[in-house]
Structures are given as C-alpha cells and as structure tokens.
Amino acid sequence: MEVKTLTSSQYFRLLMLIFGVMLLAQIGTGVVFFFLRSTQEVVMQNNTALGEIFQYLIPILILMPVLGWLLSKNTLKKLKESDSLSDKLRAYQSVLLVKYAFFEGASLSSLIAYFMTGKNLYLGVAAGLVLVFLSQIPTQKRLFDEVPLSLTDESKLKDPDAEVAEMPLKD
C-alpha cells in the first residue's frame, strides 16, 4: 500500500479541511431547511405527532457532542509519548473525525426536527450546536494540549516543512 508523507503545515491544513467541510455541511443544511421551510410554509404542515417525539429526542441528542468529547478523551489517553509521531497524528485525526461526527449528528437531527415540525426552538438548538462546534477548531495549541508529545515531536510540528505523518493512500 502506498503512503503519502505529510509535512506539518499539510497535516494542519488537512485537519482544517475536515473541520471546514463538516461546518459547511451543518450550516448549508440549516440554510436550505430554513429557506425551504420559510418559502413553503403554506404547503408544509407542522407535524404535531413528530413534534411530541422530537421534544424528548432532541434533548437526548444534544448530549451526543459530550459523548464524542468523552470518547475522544479516552482514546487520546491511551496514546503514549513513546509512540511514533505519525501514529499519534493518525489517531488524533481519527479522534477528531469521530468527535466532529457527534456534533454533526446532533446538529443535523435538530435541523431535521425543525424542518419536520416548524418549531424554531430546534433551529436555535442547531445554531447553538454549530457555535459550540466552532470552538472545536483544530489548532496546533489544541493538539499540543490533547496529545502526549515529546519535545522532539513538538519541535517537528512547529516546523512547517518537517515531515510528520504518513497517510495511507487508497488505490
């Protein structure tokens, strides 16, 4: 299997790309649902039966980001300072994907509830989740705080041209 070696700057750009795509999916879905709901209000009925289900389901789904955060903390605790930098960075990328997916799942569920019921509360919940998601932007400082790194690893990550991670390429 082929691998691609990433420099520090490429690795952080990859993390920002993942973050940006997931943010865009949440905001884009919200804008589309808001536009459809507001322009088609005459033909779209407010489904009260679904509204009753969502009033119990959405508060539970709001806890999804907390679950994602807890899973990420537990996974990162298993990393050792002696592990290779490439392995730690691949694990960190995977952890971020899972954590972001939990945010996105909760946000999209709230948007679906808004679209189906017309209750602005669910739109507000989704907006709040997006705002909290914005606080999870991947930065070098956050990586240094969350991943156990040696001084050598930190110096490599601070050098934008240093090769830090090997990512497998799919054929």
pLDDT digits (tens, 9 = 90+) for 74-115: 999 999 988 999 999 999 999 999 999 999 999 999 999 998
Q: How many domains does the chain have?
A: 1
**Is residue 67 in some structural domain?**
yes
Rounded CA-CA distance 40/45 in Å is 9
What number of other Cβ atoms are within 10 A of residue 163's Cβ? 15
pLDDT, tens only, 10-32: 999 999 999 999 999 999 999 99
For residue 167, the cross-strand partners are 4
Over pLDDT 90: what percentage of the chain?
65
- Helices 120-134 & 8-39 angle (0-180, nearest 10): 170
**Is residue 171 in some structural domain?**
no
**Is residue 108 in some structural domain?**
yes
Residue 165, Ramachandran bin (φ over 0: left; ψ between -120 and 50: alpha; else beta): beta
Q: Are 140 and 12 in contact (CB under 8 A)?
A: yes
Would you say residue 9 has pLDDT above 70? Answer: yes
Largest distance between two CA atoms of the chain: 63
- Host domain of residue 76: 3-166
**Is residue 25 in some structural domain?**
yes
Rounded CA-CA distance 25/159 in Å is 32
Burial class (CB in 10 A: 0-12, 13-18, 19+), 121: middle
